[in-house]
Amino acid sequence: MSAHNEETPILIEDELADEESGEAVVLEADADAAGQRLDQWLAAKLGPELSRSRVQALIRQGAVSVAGKQVLETKRKLIVGERVEILVPAPE
């Protein structure tokens, strides 16, 4: 199982975020994501831009939603087809 699936695009949805708050990244959990922890999967998908510890902090701060609901638990398991949104803060 690869850490990065080239077939799953990362979509930037500008209408979900403004310049001050950063950008919204929207992903869909594929078959490889099924059963994986949210923090591990997001860190793998977002690559070097966000470390796993940074992803965990963003989850705890309420910057991540799964299937339209805010998630605060880093170890939440993913289900195929779930839409994951993360608000990535703008660099300071």
Q: What is the rounded end-to-end Cα distance, in angstroms, of the chain?
A: 35
| Phi, psi (degrees; rounded to nearest 5) at 75 | -90, 10
Q: How many domains does the chain have?
A: 1
CA geometry: angle 38, 52, 54, nearest 5 deg: 105
Convert the pLDDT of each residue in 20-75 to its tens digit.
568 899 999 999 999 999 999 999 999 888 899 999 999 999 999 999 999 999 99
**Which CATH number belongs to the domain containing residue 37 in this structure?**
3.10.290.10
**9 or 32: which leads in pLDDT:** 32
Domain membership flag for residue 40? yes
Residue 35 tokens, joined: 């059963």
Q: Is residue 35 part of a domain?
A: yes
Q: Which domain holds residue 68?
A: 21-84
Q: What pTM, to 2 d.p., does this model score?
A: 0.75
β-pairing, 64-66 vs 83-88, is: antiparallel
